Structure formats: C-alpha cells, structure tokens
Structure 1
Amino acid sequence: MLEAKLLEAGTLKKLLDAIKELVTDANFECNEEGIVLQAMDNSHVALVSVKFSAPAFKRYRCDRPMPLGVNLTSLTKVLKCAKDDDICTLKAADEADVLNLVYEAKNSDRIAEYDMKLMDIDADTLQIPETEYDARVTMPSAEFTRIVRDLSQLGESVRIEVSKEGVRFASDGEAANGSVLLRQSDGVVSGGTIRPKEEDKEGGSGDAEEEDNEEGSSKKKKEKAKVKKEKGDDDVDMEEEGDKDEDGKDYEPKSDEEGEDERNDEEDPEEEDDEEGGSKKRKKKANGSSKPVKKPKTSKKKSSDDDDGAEGVVIEMNQHVQLTFSLKYLVNFSKSASLSGRVQLMMSNDVPLLVAYDFNQGYIRYYLAPKIGDD
C-alpha cells in the first residue's frame, strides 16, 4: 500500500506543468526511499528525472516497491482541482488500478477526493551513469528562463560556451543574431571534481556550534552584568545603610534574598531601572549588553538568506566547453524555475547537458543531447 501526504499540492502541480509537454505517459516508481520518475521524450533527445524523497512528505508509507503508470495530462487535470496550499494525499493499494487523491483545505473543512485510472506502461528502468563534468554554471533560474526565451525568438539553437571569460549563450537566426555573456565577479573556479550536487543537509553540527557559542557569549555577558549590578547594588546600600566599606565591597556571605534579587535583575534589567528611579548609567550598560546578543542572530539569518537567494553566477570549470542545443527543449526545462530560485548547468564535450533544479522536497533534472554538425 502507498500513502504519501504532501503539505502543498502546488509543488506537485508546478512539477507536472514543467514535464507534461516532454513526457505523455510515465511510471512513478514508489519505494521506501520516496517517489522517482524517469522518462524520455518521444524523440529520445531529452530525459527527465524527478525525485520526491520520503522525508519531504508529512506522512509517507510504501510497503513494497510499486509502479504507478500515469497519463500526465490526466493527472494535471485532476491536480487543477486542488488549491496550491491544499494538503494532497496520494493513496494506492497493492496492485491497484486506481490512484486516489485527497485534497484537504487548511483553512476550512473542505475535503475533495478524486480517483484516477492507472495504466500499464512497459518502460525500462534507465540507469544514469555518474559523470564527471568539465564545467558547472550555477545561476538564477529566472535569468536562465529569460535568456532562453529571448534567444528562442531569434533561432532554433543556442550555443553555450563556458570559458575563463564567463558563460556565453549565442543564437544565430535568419534575420538576427544575439548573444548573452554572464560573468562571475569573483572569477572562474577551476580544478576539482565536478558532479551533480545532491541536496546535503549537514547544518546540524554548525547550528549546534553556533548555539554553543551563543550560550558561551551570553554566559560571559551575564557574568559581566552581574559584576556591574553588584557594584550598583553596593552603591544603593551604602546610601541607605551606611555600614559598607569606602571601597563599596559587600560583606560575605550574602543572603538568599539578595541573590534572588540579583537574578531577577539580570532577567529584566530595564524593569529594575524603572522601579529604582533609574540610574542612567546602569540602564545604558544593560541595553549595551542586550544588543550584541541580537546582532549576530540577525546577521546569521541574512547570510543564510543570501546563500539561498537567487543572485549571482558561480562558474566552476576544468576546461573550455562549447556545445549547441535545441532551444525548444531548454524553454521547456526553464518552466521548472517556479520550483527553485537556482539552476545548475553541467557540461562536458560530447556529453548530454544536465539542467538541475533542487527544491525542498527533492530535485528535477533534465538531460539534453547536444546537436552535432551545427556551427
């Protein structure tokens, strides 16, 4: 039995919109690791590979490996009945001939249920060999979409060239020619093995270290604040009681009540200043101690957002690469830009181009054979 609950039906809708024009019928191979689709277009020029990993689903259960033969046009029509933010659940029994889809609205009690007939599709499982590429270009997916759409107005083919100068897209048409050059500001990175990047999530240890650093720094700041507050309390006690030393040192041991007061003062220094009638110096010190704790957090968030942002072009190159491809296919590939803000182009001479989009739930990859004999 298969049961896969996806938090947003919009992700599946965007995915099918991107591949429905390339592939008509395909098998969704389901196993305990997730759902995988691999299929070629009718002309056997392009191959599409899609993976939804099991952890990406809110609930995932697959008792045994099973194929779901689906007509993508029909599945697209059924998915149009769901809102983008609906919770989508796919269900299929063992050796079933029907795929059950349930849409649950998050903000209402609406539950819609649809059954779609499955197909018996004889398709060989494709083994994609691991390839070491000569060049990889990581760029904003919106920029890639714009380039291929603009150049498709001029001609049918595009020449992609990766060199030390940058990456150049050029198209020669009957009436006009055009080219777009993208440069990397930091320079082209050369050397090393270039392979498709899997979505690695190894941020746990880094986050733990950051938390430890934050805890350590906060402890130090609390100790400093404690010293400052002790001195301040001594000043107040000197004025009230008059039985302290001239240096303002406290006598030991302190009472439990005084210790509790200091701990409460550490938790809310501003409140203490308001109640005491405020020593301005102490209020400034308290505010100063709270600001450094906030600044690193905001800076970390900004840096992580910048890493996930869709700006900048990164070029990794071991040698000069120049290949020609059909623009019609690249325009279809670019429809996946709605899934991810970044796209990777991986190239080697006489090897199919790899266009990869990684998103939270998995990835979608396109392989396109180069044109031979075109200038």
Structure 2
Amino acid sequence: MFEARLVRSSILSKVTNAIKELLNEATWVCTDSGIQLQAIDTSHVSLVSLNLLAEGFDEYKCDRNLVMGINISVMSKILKCATDDDVVTIKAQDNADTITFIFEFRSQQKNSKYIMKLMNLDPEYLNISDINHNCLIRMPSNEFSLICRDLSQFGDSINIACIKDGVKFSTGGDIGTANIKFAKMSSVDNKERAVEVEVQEPIKITFSCRYLNLFTKATAFSPRVSLFMSLNMPMVVEYSIEDVGNIRYFLAPKIEEENDS
C-alpha cells in the first residue's frame, strides 16, 4: 500500500502547475525513498525530472514499489479543489487502477475525497543522475523568469553566453535586439539576490524561449534557480522544492542554421 500526507497541499498543486504545459501524462514511481518522475515532453524537446523525498512528507508509507500512470491535467484539476493551507493525503493500493486524494479543510470541520483512474503507461528511465557542466549559473528565480519573459518579446531564442566575469542573455528578431548582462557575484550584499557564475570554459549556447518560459512555472518553488550548461549538451534548469525535493528541466540547445550563400 502507498500513502503520503502533506500538511501543505499547495506543494503538489505547484508541482502539477510546473509540468502540466509540458506533459499530458507521466508515470509516477513510488518507492520507500520517495516519488520520482521522468518524462519527455510531447514535442520531444525537453525532459522533466521530479524527485520528492519520502522524508519531505509529513507521513509517508510505501510497502512495495508502485508505478502509477497519471493524467497531469486531471490531477491538477483535483488539486485545485483544495486551498493552500489544506492537508492532502494520497492513497493507492498495490496493483490498483485508481488513486485517492483526501483533503482536510483545517478552516472548518470538513474533508473531501476524489478518486482518479490511473493510466497504463510505460515508465521512462534515463541516466540523468550526474550533471556535468562547463558553466553553472545560480541566480534569483524571479529574475530568471523576468529575463525569459522580456527577451521573448524580441525573439524566439535566447543566447546565453558565460565568460569568466559574468553572463549575458541576448536575443534578436525583426523588431530589434535585447541583451541583459550580469557581472559575476553581483549583489553580493544580499545572498538571495546574488548572481553567481562558475565557468570552467567560456561558452555561448542558444535555447528556445518558449521552453524556458515554461520552465519558469516552477519559480514559485524556490527563490533561487541553478542553470547547468555544457557545449552541445542539454541545459539543466533546477529548482529546489522547499524541503521536499527538486525538479529539473533538461533542454536541448538549438542548432543555428547556416546560410547557404
């Protein structure tokens, strides 16, 4: 039997909000150490990796490994039936074809139960445990969200250039160009606002604005975001999920087409 309880249902609601525009459905693998999800988006451009640790839950029990095919959109709708300060308990029997969500409304003597049918999905396992990188950027997550939003007004792609003394985000299109620069360790007087850049080798890589904007749906999880980059390798965008775990997005770089002139 699987049973997990969180006194803050908003955490699970934020999880579904952070992935529902990338994934229609996904396999949730429950073990005694926690819940893991790995899934490639519908366009096969990015990958989502979610890790929720057992010790991050207020109560957690998993007698045997359980694989559950979840419709993300339906799960999101169910979680919207709770308010942020409600308690949520998730239950599923071994080999069950349904999963149960129970909400306890602390503001009144009330609880509600929703039963969702599971899907038959094949789990996706990829060897993504190690993050090798030539450049690491740590910055405020809301700042990264603003960069992605603002630059997407000028172009479909964002160029990220890491050099020894900082990082530059830039783009260009028919209406003009835009670029935003950060010096290494700017705003060091405030750790939460600092932009930290670690560069082993200077690189410049181009990524899709659309997908980066979708990744920033996870901004609500953490005040900081980490970007791991290497030449000709997918970028990893990582957010911690309070004390529960983390979510990572993997995005392949865009290959610039050469002009045949």
2:186 and 2:194 in contact (8 A); partners too: no
Partner of 1:343: 225
Q: Which amino acid is the alignment partner of residue 130 of structure 2? A: E
Taking structure 1 as reference, are residues 52 and 131 closer, same or farther at Cα in structure 2, changes over 3 Å only?
closer
Partner of 1:101: 101
Q: Find out whether 1:85 has 2:85 as its counterpart.
A: yes
Name the % identity: 40
Q: CA deviation at 1:108?
A: 2.2
Partner of 1:150: 150
Q: Which amino acid is the alignment partner of residue 6 of structure 1? A: L
The separation in 1 between residues aligned to 2:232 and 2:172, in whole angstroms, is 21
Q: CA deviation at 1:374?
A: 4.8
CA RMSD of aligned residues (A): 1.8
Alignment of 1:252-331 (within 5 A): 310-331=192-213
CA deviation string 1:284-336 (max 9, x = no partner):
xxxxxxxxxxxxxxxxxxxxxx9996311111111101100000000000110
Larger helix share, 1 or 2? 1
1:309 and 1:341 in contact (8 A); partners too: no
**TM-score (normalizing by structure 2):** 0.94
Partner of 1:179: 179
2:151 and 2:178 in contact (8 A); partners too: yes
Partner of 1:133: 133
1:99 and 1:117 in contact (8 A); partners too: yes
Alignment of 1:208-227 (within 5 A): none
Q: CA deviation at 1:109?
A: 1.3
CA deviation string 1:23-46 (max 9, x = no partner):
111011000000011100122110
Unaligned runs of 5+ in 1: 188-305
Q: CA deviation at 1:105?
A: 1.7
The separation in 2 between residues aligned to 1:346 and 1:122, in whole angstroms, is 28
Instruction: Report the secondary structure of 1:355's partner residue.
Output: strand
Q: Which amino acid is the alignment partner of residue 226 of structure 2? A: Q
Partner of 1:12: 12
1:86 and 1:104 in contact (8 A); partners too: yes
1:163 and 1:317 in contact (8 A); partners too: yes
The separation in 1 between residues aligned to 2:185 and 2:92, in whole angstroms, is 51
CA deviation string 1:194-220 (max 9, x = no partner):
xxxxxxxxxxxxxxxxxxxxxxxxxxx
Instruction: Report the secondary structure of 1:12's partner residue.
Output: helix
Instruction: Report the secondary structure of 2:26's partner residue.
Output: strand
- Structure 1 counterpart of 2:250, from 357, 363, 367: 367
2:39 and 2:124 in contact (8 A); partners too: no
Instruction: Report the secondary structure of 1:310's partner residue.
Output: helix
Structure whose CA Rg is larger: 1
**Number of aligned positions between the proteins:** 257
Unaligned runs of 5+ in 2: none
The separation in 2 between residues aligned to 1:14 and 1:374, in whole angstroms, is 37
Larger strand share, 1 or 2? 2
The separation in 2 between residues aligned to 1:155 and 1:129, in whole angstroms, is 32
The separation in 1 between residues aligned to 2:108 and 2:26, in whole angstroms, is 34
The separation in 1 between residues aligned to 2:257 and 2:84, in whole angstroms, is 42
